[in-house]
Amino acid sequence: MRSLEPWVEAPLSTFLAESGARITLLMTSSGQVVAQHGFTHSLDVMSAAALGAGIMAATAELSRVMGSRPLDAVVHQGSALGIHLAGFDTPRGRWLGLVVFGKETSLGLVQLFFGRMAHDLGRAAPVEPPSRPVLAENFEQELNSSLRSLFGR
């Protein structure tokens, strides 16, 4: 497990231990990665984050078109793996969680402990630090620094 924010580690660790999830990705609703577990390539992390955020955005739009409130979660169930994608509110804004799980656990357990993780993250989040302006020349540096943190390099 790797995280950009230390306060995310404990709730995420608990979730991983209890749910039996194989892969987990936590990100902001715009696709910025906060923490991950189970990925081996940085490119996969970025792709999954972008796709996950895109799916949730598309689902939200679909809900709007159908006159319904936005859906909280999306589940894709295959014969061997399942994907659970859900949004939740934190003091740092709307986040998304993408979880991939196998037959050794169940959707019920994943959802149960995902909900608890979301609650724990809400309680663990420190007060938001003052935001710094993001400059173009810093962006590349910050992205690379984030990737190094997420992969322990």
Interface residues with other proteins (CB under 8 A) are 18, 105-109, 111-112, 115
Residue 112 Cβ vs other proteins, minimum distance, rounded to whole Å: 4
Residue 82 Cβ vs other proteins, minimum distance, rounded to whole Å: 9
Residue 108 Cβ vs other proteins, minimum distance, rounded to whole Å: 2
Tokens of 32: 């910025």
Alpha helices in 20-106, H assignment, sequence order: 42-65
Cβ closest to other proteins, residue 51 vs residue 112: 112
Q: Which amino acid is present at 69?
A: R
Cβ closest to other proteins, residue 5 vs residue 18: 18
Cβ closest to other proteins, residue 59 vs residue 106: 106
Residue 111 Cβ vs other proteins, minimum distance, rounded to whole Å: 7
Residue 85 Cβ vs other proteins, minimum distance, rounded to whole Å: 16
Cβ closest to other proteins, residue 55 vs residue 73: 73
| CA–CA dist 69, 63 (Å, integer) | 6
3-class state of residue 102 by DSSP: strand
Cβ closest to other proteins, residue 14 vs residue 146: 14
C-beta atoms surrounding 139 within 10 Å: 10
45-54 long-range CB contacts below 8 Å, 24 or more apart?
A: 45/147, 45/150, 48/98, 49/25, 49/98, 52/25, 52/27, 52/85, 52/96, 52/98, 53/27, 53/29, 53/96
